[in-house]
Amino acid sequence: MVDGSIHLLKEDGLFYAMKGLYPTDEIAQLDSRVNVLDCFALSVPGEEAERHLVKIQKN
């Protein structure tokens, strides 16, 4: 997601990514153009699977 759309964000712009399980591997693979600000565990009504919202800032 980041590689294909980072050019669309202005300086200090934000990405919000909806993920399932905590995305440890994906976060580790991000490059220096972005920084993960936070990752929130979500409770989705009617859904038993894990969900996370990752807040990513363009550097």
pLDDT in tens, 12-52: 889 999 999 999 999 999 999 999 999 999 998 998 999 99
10 burial type by CB count under 10 A (0-12 exposed, 13-18 middle, 19+ buried): exposed
**C-alpha triplet 16, 28, 22: angle, nearest 5°:** 55
Integer Cα distance of 46 and 2 in angstroms = 29
Integer Cα distance of 19 and 39 in angstroms = 10
**How many domains is the chain built from?**
1
Give pTM, 2 decimals: 0.85
- Look at the alpha carbons of 59, 14, 1, 23 in this order and tell me if their dihedral is positive or negative: positive
Of the pLDDT bands very low, low, confident and very high (cuts 50, 70, 90), residue 11 is confident
**Structural domain containing residue 16:** 2-58
